[in-house]
Structure 1
Amino acid sequence: MNYSFASHLDCPKCHSVFSVDSIHQLCHCGSPLLVKYHLQELKNRVTKDEISNRKDFSLWRYHELLPVLDENHVVTLGEGFTPLIKTENIGHCYSIKNLFMKDEGIIPTGSFKARGASVGVSKAKELGVRSLAMPTNGNAGGAWALYSSRAGIEAYVVMPKDAPYVTRVEVSIAGAHLYLIDGLISDAGKTVARLVCENEFYDASTLKEPYRIEGKKTMGYEIAEQLKWNLPDVILYPTGGGVGIIGIYKALLELKELGWITGKLPRLVAVQSEGCAPIVKAWQERKKESEFWEKSSTKAFGINVPKAIGDFLVLEALYKTNGYAISVSEESIQKSQRQAAELEGNFICPEGAATFAAAYELRKRNWIKEDETVVCLNTGQGIKYPDLFSAELPLLRKGENIVI
């Protein structure tokens, strides 16, 4: 039995083909590359029931649909198969009867970035990479630094100085080389480009290597499997670089071709902050690519991406699924974060809270219907952003009794 049915790399723009056995970054036309698989062969060898009966509850349960050819190169901390929780209390408030949260907060490193790091670092190890460099808004840097450490790969991570403190600590404690810059992730990307050029490092920037997306797509597999190979009506995803929503769409197309799912695909929703909404603007104008968002700012730091290299793939996923792109206010993000904690007992990250704020707004617009099955993606733990809320605690004076 093949460990992987990976076939080749394909350019979605010019359709050039590349090998999965050697290092490739962007296509010569400048587009990200996507991994293709021998799906018809896989269809005859593996069934969805076999997948469901597996005892490996990490994302590697789907190893045939991942790009690592040799199991010995897998770098894992047990990431994946995160819970899909019905949020009944919030759903009641929003008048959405079947509102679910895919909770990526309990994954290793505390965010969904561990998925991309596990698969991306595993493939880098298989390809013989010794040093890699990447820009990050925080969580991806922490994840890639830790997984690189486990793989014996030297990591160089560049992030804005305003990135969450916890993620800076993750990079540092993993022994990676951390560089802080006064600017945005787009500025960090320019620094990484120089490091890559001057030192011939492997460029692990978002979508400049083809394999991070393969880890992220497993969220789509899991949602389908956890719903007994049925599909929700709507999936809302916080969108910065857009790898998650691109990956989920890719997973759904692969499952469809395998015959493991049937019916209409979920309507995909890209959620951004009003302070940084290039995808929303492009979608509203029915464009194929976005424009750079000047002076971007949001406390949902993970979606503070003024221009995504894979924006055309995000927009395609929205158009093809009759989806939506919506921006939400900073106030609504913070309100939804409090709601999730007070009503559901879950301290979610601000990016995840943005999807709940969007679900509320889309229900008000009747774009989401009351009886539809809706999945919000929480992409990380709220405790990784300790400075967003102040603890308003009553002070107990010396000698004072607590009266119930």
Structure 2
Amino acid sequence: MNYSYLSHLSCPKCEAVYSADKIQQLCTCGSPLLVNYHLDQIKSVLTKEEIGQRENSLWKYHELLPVVNPENIVSMGEGMTPLLEMTRMGAEIGIPNLLMKDEGLIPTGSFKARGAAVGISKAKELGVKTFAMPTNGNAGAAWSLYGARAGLESYIIMPIDAPLITRKETAISGANLHLIDGLISDAGKVVAKLVSEHGFYDASTLKEPYRIEGKKTMGYEIAEQLNWEVPDVILYPTGGGVGIIGIYKALLEMQELGWIKKDKLPRLVAVQAVGCAPIVKAFEEGQSESEFWENSKTDAFGINVPKAIGDFLVLQGIYETNGCAIAVTEKEISEEQSNAARLEGSFICPEGAATFAAARLLRKRNWIKKDEKVVCLNTGQGIKYPETVSAEAPLLHKGEILHL
């Protein structure tokens, strides 16, 4: 059996086909490229039952991942994160079957480790020595640490307002870290110049095809953890949108393989903050692409992306699953972050909290029905955003007794 059944790369816009044997970035038309596999061959040699007997890492789906030689795999045990029942929170929101896919329990503390593991592994296989990328924090931390493990040199450009802990993760990896007084879009311009002038591998969101492949394993895991059934709704915090694109890709692949039913897909929900909601605006207007969001701002820093290069793929996934896009306020995000800790003992990141805020709103509107099974994605640990949470408490002087 082949380790990978990688076939080729294709453009979802102009349908151009590219070889997967050498470095590819964007299509000549400017679109991101998608990875294709020999699904007909996989279908004849691999069963979901066999998958269930393998070790619990994302590499258990290796036939459906792009690394051809397993010796090139760069791994720290990422994948198969818990799918937790959020019983008390679900009862409070009015969704008894509320679940959370907790990506905080993964190397580097966020779901970005999935994209980094597969992206860095494939970069190594393709002979990449140096890569550059813009980041809002977690992706830079993940890619620089996995890059260090692979022996690759990295140039990471990060907004100065990015979470301090992610900056420290990146710095300690030995990466060439540079801060910019601006947004991730401004950091992207610096990376573009590095790529143009020095020939570095461009690891920007969707400018290499393989980050999606790491992120799509969340979709495979959710289905496997639900005994190869899919939930009714999946809510995802959406900045660059790679996660929701990847999950949708996984769902289509699983349907083609016969691992899930053909007649049902979960409704995908892109969750954004009101201070940066280009996907929501495009969805509400029935558009296929978004417009640049001026003066974007949110404490959920990972979704502070004013214009995503793959926005049309995010919107396609929403439209084709009868999903939606919704924006939530900073107050709602903060409240749900507190609720998750208070009711469930889960200190989740602001981006993850945004999905619970969205679930609450959609339940109030009856868009989510009471009997539906709903999965919220928490994309990272709350402890990576200490500045978003207050820790004020009464001071006891030495020797003072606490009287209740």
TM-score over 0.5 for the pair: yes
| Pair 1:137-2:128 in alignment | no
Q: What's 1:289 paired with? A: 289
Instruction: Tell me the secondary structure at the aligned position of residue 159 of structure 1.
Output: strand
Q: What's 2:182 paired with? A: 183
| Pair 1:227-2:198 in alignment | no
| Pair 1:276-2:249 in alignment | no
Instruction: Compute the displacement of 1:311 (Å).
Output: 0.1
Q: Write the mapping of 1:168-179 to structure 2, written as runs, cut at 5 A.
A: 168-179=167-178
**What is the CA–CA distance in structure 2 between the aligned matches of 1:106 and 1:392, rounded to whole Å?**
27
**What is the CA–CA distance in structure 1 between the aligned matches of 2:131 and 2:124, rounded to whole Å?**
11
| Pair 1:157-2:194 in alignment | no
| Pair 1:244-2:243 in alignment | yes
Q: What's 2:76 paired with? A: 77
Instruction: Compute the displacement of 1:378 (Å).
Output: 0.0
Q: Partner amino acid for 1:93?
A: E
Instruction: Compute the displacement of 1:401 (Å).
Output: 1.2
Q: Which runs of 5+ in 1 are unaligned?
A: none
Q: Which runs of 5+ in 2 are unaligned?
A: none
Instruction: Compute the displacement of 1:18 (Å).
Output: 0.7
C-alpha distance after superposition, 1:243-284 (max 9, x if no partner): 000000000000000000003100000000000000000000
Q: Write the mapping of 1:79-98 to structure 2, written as runs, cut at 5 A.
A: 79-98=78-97
Q: What's 1:195 paired with? A: 194
Q: What's 1:307 paired with? A: 307
Q: Partner amino acid for 1:12?
A: P
**What is the CA–CA distance in structure 1 between the aligned matches of 2:389 and 2:243, rounded to whole Å?**
27
Q: What's 2:386 paired with? A: 386
Q: Partner amino acid for 1:91?
A: G
> Between Structure 1 and Structure 2, how many residues are aligned?
403
**What is the CA–CA distance in structure 1 between the aligned matches of 2:46 and 2:193, rounded to whole Å?**
44
Q: What's 2:99 paired with? A: 100
**What is the CA–CA distance in structure 2 between the aligned matches of 1:195 and 1:353, rounded to whole Å?**
35
Q: RMSD value over aligned CA atoms?
A: 0.6
Instruction: Tell me the secondary structure at the aligned position of residue 147 of structure 1.
Output: helix
Q: Partner amino acid for 1:180?
A: L
TM-score when scaled to structure 2? Answer: 0.99
**What is the CA–CA distance in structure 2 between the aligned matches of 1:52 and 1:58, rounded to whole Å?**
11
C-alpha distance after superposition, 1:78-110 (max 9, x if no partner): 000000000001100011010000000010000
Give the percent of matched residue pairs that are identical in Structure 1 and Structure 2: 71
**What is the CA–CA distance in structure 2 between the aligned matches of 1:285 and 1:382, rounded to whole Å?**
33
**What is the CA–CA distance in structure 1 between the aligned matches of 2:230 and 2:174, rounded to whole Å?**
41
TM-score when scaled to structure 1? Answer: 0.99
Structure 1 stretches of 4+ with a deviation exceeding 6 A read none
Q: What's 2:324 paired with? A: 324
Q: What's 1:19 paired with? A: 19
**What is the CA–CA distance in structure 2 between the aligned matches of 1:180 and 1:385, rounded to whole Å?**
18
Q: What's 2:375 paired with? A: 375
Q: Partner amino acid for 2:329?
A: S
Q: Partner amino acid for 2:179?
A: L
Instruction: Tell me the secondary structure at the aligned position of residue 106 of structure 1.
Output: coil
Q: What's 1:342 paired with? A: 342
**What is the CA–CA distance in structure 2 between the aligned matches of 1:400 and 1:26, rounded to whole Å?**
65
Q: Partner amino acid for 1:290?
A: S
**What is the CA–CA distance in structure 2 between the aligned matches of 1:76 and 1:382, rounded to whole Å?**
23
**What is the CA–CA distance in structure 1 between the aligned matches of 2:155 and 2:163, rounded to whole Å?**
18
